[in-house]
Each structure stands twice: as C-alpha cells, then as structure tokens.
Amino acid sequence: MSTITTLPVVGMTCGHCVAAVTEELQQLAGVTGVAVELHPGGASEVRVHSEEPVPVEALAAAIDEAGYELAS
Ligand SMILES: [Cu+2]
C-alpha cells in the first residue's frame, strides 16, 4: 500500500532548497517520490510518497541533513 506523509518544513526559500530536501528524502529506503509546495517565510508542505510508512525520525533526520527542520 502506498503512503503519503505530509511534513511542514521551515527554512526553505527557493528552488535550491526544494532540490536539497528532495534529494535527501529520495535517498531513504522505500521513498518513491517527493513533492514540495514552497512557502518562503513560512512552513513549506513536503509530501513524501513511499511504499510503506517511513519513520518520522528518518524523515526528520533527512530534512535536518539537508539543512532545514520540521515545523513544531
Ligand atoms: Cu533556497
């Protein structure tokens, strides 16, 4: 069953940010696609498509690795 996880991510401002986050998330096992709705100055909406649910800690770690963080 495919799953979509939606995450609010702060600190993203442009296409480079989108590319960095997308690249990190796509390296996670099971992730089949990433879609970002950019909201500069606010929380961008990052949708992660995967075959199975991916642990939120793994998603948060990948986003942190890209240089951004989950909105609390
Ligand atoms: Cu940017």
Q: Got the DSSP string for 2-70?
A: -EEEEEEEES--SHHHHHHHHHHHHTSTTEEEEEEE--TTSEEEEEEEESSPPPHHHHHHHHHHHT-EE
What's the whole-model pTM score?
0.93
Is the pLDDT at 1 greater than 80? The verdict is: no
Q: How far is the CA of 14 from the centre of ligand 1 (A)?
A: 4
Find the mean pLDDT for residues 7-11.
97
Q: How far is the CA of 31 from the centre of ligand 1 (A)?
A: 22
What pLDDT does 54 receive? 95
Q: How far is the CA of 42 from the centre of ligand 1 (A)?
A: 13
What pLDDT does 30 receive? 95
Q: How far is the CA of 4 from the centre of ligand 1 (A)?
A: 24
Is the pLDDT at 4 greater than 80? The verdict is: yes
Average pLDDT over the chain, rounded to an integer: 96
